[in-house]
């Protein structure tokens, strides 16, 4: 990294990930814009993943540049681990932060492309997500992730995420916003990447989605959530809605946003309180909520599912 290059920090959450970690770490070194820092949080000390991270640094001393650090994780799952990393990173020492899973492979231009797309908006908070290649390493089969059409906004963010957390990059202004929100000590959101979309869009930040895939998203039995595409995925998410899982996630997210509402725009706060007030009302109130506000999910099948969720009080 030359002095004129932007300082990018990678936030890497570790948990029982020895099998594929080396390929992910190598893909950092293969970046056209190398990260200046890699900060890893080991959520299960003793499973060997943290040791594998340190061994990679020791056995690749020449190509490893910048600062690579390992810290203990909170031990409460991936969302808490990523929030822990976002708290710990020094915003004054970085221009951009990139979230990373432990088992993907970044394509070589991922960070350089992200910085180029975010930089024109750097005077305020920006969150960038990208599409990815949903990749089955054994068969070498890959499929591009779903396209989520614009606009990427708070009324959409309240109902649905727009990009995988493993693709997300934030600028310093967005990191400052996130750390201010975390300092308010609200409850933990359901999923860290969904919450980032909600917070940054709700605070008036810019949300971008790169349609060009920038990583190989490894699909395997250990995925925390996995790719959201195809009929099996849609059926699974419909089942999660029927059993109340989606409602539980929304309840967690809304409680988090209420604790952080001073950071939201007035329009976002108004919509948040309308949702909180009406989601448990009588049937006609719940249906009017969707009819009278811009709350929505992308795609006709997802929007239909949202109406069903409202009708069944599963929203």
What pLDDT sits at residue 221? Answer: 52
Q: Where are the domains of the chain?
A: 8-218, 230-311
Strand order in the sheet with 37-42: 67-72, 37-42, 8-14, 96-100, 169-171, 126-130, 206-210
Query: Of 81-85, 212-216, 225-229, 233-237, where does mean pLDDT reach its minimum?
Result: 225-229
Angle (nearest 5°) at CA 253 between 251 and 254 = 65
Q: How, if at all, do strands 96-100 and 67-72 pair?
A: unpaired
Contact 106, 98 (CB under 8 A): no
Average pLDDT, the chain: 92
Q: pTM of whole model > 0.85?
A: yes
Residues of the chain with pLDDT > 70: what percent?
Answer: 94
What pLDDT sits at residue 284? Answer: 98
Query: What does the alpha-carbon distance between residue 142 and residue 160 come to, in Å, rounded to a whole number?
Result: 24
* pLDDT at position 309 over 50: yes
Helix (H, G, I), strand (E, B) or coil at 158: coil
Contact 53, 70 (CB under 8 A): yes
Query: What does the alpha-carbon distance between residue 199 and residue 186 come to, in Å, rounded to a whole number?
Result: 13
User: % helix / strand / coil in the chain, to the nearest 5?
Assistant: 45, 15, 40
* pLDDT at position 37 over 80: yes
What pLDDT sits at residue 4? Answer: 73
pLDDT in tens, 115-155: 999 999 999 999 999 999 998 877 778 899 989 999 999 99
pLDDT band per the 50, 70, 90 thresholds, residue 166: very high
Query: What does the alpha-carbon distance between residue 129 and residue 236 come to, in Å, rounded to a whole number?
Result: 23
The stretch 89-112 carries a mean pLDDT of 96
Exposure class string for 278-298: b at 16+ Cβ within 10 A, else e: bbeeeeeebeebbeeeebbbb
What pLDDT sits at residue 220? Answer: 56
What pLDDT sits at residue 46? Answer: 78
What pLDDT sits at residue 223? Answer: 46
pLDDT band per the 50, 70, 90 thresholds, residue 231: low
pLDDT band per the 50, 70, 90 thresholds, residue 169: very high
Query: Which residues are registered as beta bridge partners of 96?
Result: 8, 171
CATH of 8-218, one of 3.30.70.3040, 3.90.550.10, 3.40.50.360, 3.40.470.10: 3.90.550.10
């Amino acid at each position: 990294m030359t002095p004129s290059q932007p300082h990018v920090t990678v936030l890497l959450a570790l948990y029982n990930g020895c099998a594929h970690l080396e390929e992910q770490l190598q893909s950092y070194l293969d970046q056209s814009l190398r990260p200046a820092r890699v900060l890893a949080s080991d959520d299960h000390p003793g499973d060997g993943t943290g040791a594998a991270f340190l061994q990679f640094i020791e056995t690749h001393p020449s190509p490893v540049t910048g600062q690579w650090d390992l810290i203990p994780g909170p031990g409460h799952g991936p969302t808490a681990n990523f929030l822990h990393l976002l708290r710990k990173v020094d915003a004054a020492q970085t221009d951009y932060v990139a979230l990373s899973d432990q088992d993907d492979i970044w394509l070589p231009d991922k960070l350089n492309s992200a910085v180029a797309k975010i930089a024109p908006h750097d005077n305020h908070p920006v969150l960038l997500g990208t599409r990815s290649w949903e990749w089955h390493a054994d068969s070498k089969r890959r499929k591009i992730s779903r396209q989520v059409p614009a606009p990427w906004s708070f009324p959409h963010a309240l109902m649905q995420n727009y990009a995988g957390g493993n693709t997300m990059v934030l600028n310093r202004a967005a990191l400052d916003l996130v750390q201010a929100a975390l300092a308010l000590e609200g409850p933990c959101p359901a999923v860290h990447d969904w919450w980032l979309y909600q917070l940054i869009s709700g605070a008036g930040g810019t949300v971008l989605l790169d349609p060009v895939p920038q990583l190989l998203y490894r699909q395997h039995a250990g995925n925390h959530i996995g790719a959201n595409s195809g009929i099996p995925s849609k059926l699974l998410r419909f089942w999660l809605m029927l059993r109340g899982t989606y409602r539980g996630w929304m309840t967690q997210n809304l409680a988090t946003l209420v604790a952080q509402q001073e950071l939201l725009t007035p329009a976002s706060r108004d919509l948040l309180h309308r949702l909180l007030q009406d989601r448990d009302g009588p049937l006609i109130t719940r249906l009017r909520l969707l009819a009278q506000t811009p709350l929505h999910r992308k795609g006709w099948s997802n929007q239909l599912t949202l109406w069903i969720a409202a009708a069944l009080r599963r929203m």
